[in-house]
Chain A
Amino acid sequence: MDTFLQQLANGLTIGSMYALVALGYTMVYGVMRLINFAHGDMVAASAFVGLTIYTQVLGQAVSLGAVIAIFLLSAVVMAAVGVILERIAYRPLREAPRLSAVVSALGASLVIQNGIMLIWGPQMRIFPELVPQVYWDFGGVVISLIQVIILVLSLVLMVALYLFVEKTRMGAAIRASSIDQDAARLMGINVNSVIALIFIIGSSLGAVGGLFIGLYYRGITFNMGWQYGLYAFVAAIIGGIGNIPGAMLGGMLLGLFNAFISGYVSSTWSDAFTFILLIIILIVRPTGILGERVAEKV
């Protein structure tokens, strides 16, 4: 029972990180029908940007203000990178064949990943200890302060995003653009700024996710983006890609599934089990758990 509760706590922590990153995928896919393969590498880049802000800008000071500054600055930097990325790599290809944009995204992923390596080096870097190591022991189940922060902050961000998309005018513009860009344009929605907006939101949430990964796992490497990016993408697909609550649900499910596989079976098999789960879900529900049945665009 202890293992169960412990893995439940770990799974929810990992799951909320996946969910945060998955939101970036799902929003971009929802509006542009594009798998933004560079998103995972942006998440990795955010951890390195956070590291540099900590060492260079803040002079390695640790305080609540410093932590908030790291999160805000990283989010701003990554939002800017996201907008530039869309402008350079995706906008010229909006009318091009679908796969051209996919290859462009893969190219962008290589550029960012190897850009991190060229700037920060190929070796593993240790992320600063920004949050004090506080643990609570609930009868054998150990929960750390970092886990609580990750879980609570992720939930707050996700609820805020959900309310933003469902209740505000900009949110309505995003929803309209994801249903039909041309119709949205006819209604006076500036689709270009909607796309810029989803890249800003997606990249900032990814930046927070990347910093969480740094805080939780401590070791960060230039090529870790593929791993987390792919997992988050799987989470988005499991939930039904293009669907915001689906990404949250998918992220949590995937995190729990991963944690239980690692806890009860073996961590060396967790990737294989994750993808077998994905394949089974797609065979049973080809558009994900919360995905709606959509007709193929002809």
Chain B
Amino acid sequence: MKKLQGFGYPIFFAVLAVLPYVLDSRWQAVAITFLIFTVVALSQDIILGKCGMFNMGQALFFGIGAYTTAILNTHYGWPLLATIPLAILIPAIFGVILAGPIVHLRGDYLLVTTIGFNIVFVQVVQNNLGGITGGPNGIFGIDSMKLFGVGLVSQESVYYLAFAVLLLTLWIMRNLEKSKVGRAMHYLREDQLAAESIGINTRIYKIFAFALGAGIAGLAGTVFAVQYSAVSPEAFDFMQSVLFFSIVIVGGSSVPGVLIGVFVMFVLPEVFREFATWRFFIFGFAMIVSMILRPRGIWPATFGKIPKFLIKGGSHGA
């Protein structure tokens, strides 16, 4: 599979780069959604896959990013480009504030707490706290992106924005994996006690993973808000978080695995529209079957140069 990845990526990116010219506008929209959801799933992978923390609330950070852009743009008239730094920073800060008190919780308890944060967030925006979230209907009429005075109004430009964000995310993750931080996270995932005893400050790295994952998800949220020029609470509800969580685990917490997962979850349903009511019924079975056949995911991640005999089976996650 390593070999496949070697020449698979350039071909894949080349295909993505020319994709908008071969698709009609409906499929362009599907492709944009694919890119955005891939970025969110990858950001989820930093927390869940790379660091081994059971986070089931990633749609929360995605939503905070989207709402930050939407609120700054529609209520305060900020240009979209200027909202991007805050749409990264605010989710990241929330990641630190929310993760800080809870990262020491045992796996499943952490999972429920993150579900809780997600549900609290959706209720806050639905109840229109502070009068700026637009309540259950959300916020409409977000501007189009402007770059150096040129309006990026076409769907193609949104596509390339999403594509750029995906490339940036992949670049960050690649650097992360090769860095000291990435190795620390890996040891943390494999064995927290051992990681602590060799001097890794697990708490700091855990919070860092949350901040980074939240920031990237927030950026994806901005692109999402630009694509639909609207945000509404149900796009960021707990069910979305469950899907992102499942994608990472079913995929095997690797980039190809996440791509396959997002494709199966969000693109295939567009192909088989006539089976729309059967969608989740079939997905449910697919999730069970894929886990039974490949318990470590469809395309399991391999890490660096750690010898095989050191990676014990069945130790993925806590």
B123 at the interface (CB under 8 A from A): yes
Which chain B residues in 270-301 approach chain A with CB under 8 Å? Answer: 277-281, 283-288, 291-292, 295-296
Are A104 and B292 touching (Cβ within 8 A)? Answer: yes
* Shortest distance from the beta carbon of A262 to any chain B beta carbon, whole Å: 13
Interface flag for A272 (CB, 8 Å) = yes
Cα separation A163 to B19 with both chains bound (whole Å):
65
B106-A107 in contact (CB<8A): no
- The answer to whether B104 has its CB under 8 Å from any CB of chain A is yes
Contact (Cβ within 8 A) A282 B105: yes
Task: Among B116, B281, B315, B316, find the residue whose CB has the most chain A CB atoms closer than 10 A.
Answer: B116
Contact with B along A4-44 (1 / 0, CB 8 A): 00000000000000000000000001000101000000000
Known: A93-B291, A282-B109. A106 touches B246 (CB 8 A): yes
A96 contacts across to B, CB distance below 8 A: 291, 295-296, 314
- Interface: B61 (CB within 8 A): no
User: What residue of chain A has the Cβ atom nearest to residue B107's Cβ?
Assistant: A98
Which secondary structure dominates where chain B touches chain A?
helix
For B287, give its contact among A106, A113, A272 (CB under 8 Å).
Answer: A106
Which residues on the B side are within 8 Å of A233 (C-beta)?
Answer: 112
In the complex, what distance in Å separates the CA atom of A296 from the CA atom of B285? Answer: 31
Chain A residues whose C-beta falls within 8 Å of the C-beta of B117 in the assembled complex: 275, 279
Q: Does B113 contact A (CB under 8 A)?
A: yes
Query: In the docked arrangement, what's the CA distance between A263 and B156, Å?
Result: 51
Q: Give the docked Cα–Cα distance between A81 and B135 (Å).
A: 40
Q: Which residues of B contact A117 (CB under 8 A)?
A: 277, 281
Contact: A115 with B108, CB < 8 Å? no
Cβ–Cβ contact B112 & A99, under 8 A: no
Q: Quick one: given A111-B281, A114-B280, A237-B109, are A104 and B287 in contact (CB under 8 Å)?
A: yes
> Which residues of the partner chain B approach A99 to less than 8 Å between Cβ atoms?
48, 54, 249, 316-317
**A234 CB–B CB distance under 8 Å:** yes
Q: Give residues of chain B (142-195) contacting chain A, Cβ–Cβ below 8 Å.
A: 191-193
**B120 with A272: CB separation less than 8 A:** yes
Kindly list chain A residues whose C-beta atoms are within 8 Å of the C-beta of B316: 97-99
Q: Report the Cα distance A153→B314, complex, angstroms.
A: 43
Is the pair B102, A110 in contact by a Cβ cutoff of 8 Å?
no
* Chain B proximity of A226: nearest CB distance (Å): 8
CB contacts between A and B, total, < 8 Å: 143
Q: In the assembled complex, which residues on chain A have CB atoms less than 8 Å from the CB atom of B116?
A: 234, 275-276, 278-279
**Would you call A89 an interface residue if the criterion is a C-beta within 8 Å of the partner chain's C-beta atoms?**
yes
Most buried by A among B285, B288, B317: B288
B104 in contact with A103 (CB, 8 Å): no
Q: Are B54 and A109 in contact (CB under 8 A)?
A: no
Contacting residues, chain B, for A230 (C-beta < 8 A) = 115
Interface size range of chain A in the complex: 35 or more
Q: A97-B314, A104-B288, A114-B281 are in contact. Are A35 and B102 (CB under 8 A)?
A: no
| Chain A residue contacts of B106, Cβ below 8 A | 286-287, 294, 296
Interface membership of B90, Cβ < 8 A: no
Q: Are A109 and B281 touching (Cβ within 8 A)?
A: no
Residue B25 interfacial (CB < 8 Å): no
B54-A282 in contact (CB<8A):
no
Asked if A113 and B119 make an inter-chain contact with CB atoms under 8 angstroms apart, the answer reads no
Q: State the Cβ distance, A100 to closest chain B Cβ, in Å.
A: 4
Interface status of B101 (Cβ within 8 A of chain A) = yes
In the complex, chain B residues whose CB is within 8 Å of the CB of A111: 281, 284-285, 288
For residue A122, which residues in chain B have a CB less than 8 angstroms away from its CB? 277
Cα-based distance from A281 to B113 in the complex (angstroms):
10
Known: A278-B116, A287-B109. 9 other contacts (CB 8 A): A29-B108, A35-B111, A106-B287, A107-B246, A107-B286, A111-B288, A269-B127, A286-B106, A296-B192
- 12 A-B residue contacts at CB 8 Å? A93-B295, A95-B314, A96-B295, A97-B314, A100-B296, A107-B286, A107-B287, A109-B284, A241-B108, A271-B120, A272-B120, A275-B115
Which residues of A approach B to under 8 Å, CB–CB? 29, 33, 35, 88-89, 92-93, 95-104, 106-115, 117-118, 122, 230, 233-234, 237, 241, 268-269, 271-272, 275-276, 278-279, 282-283, 286-287, 294, 296, 298
Nearest 4 Cβ contacts at the A-B interface: A107-B287, A110-B284, A275-B116, A96-B295
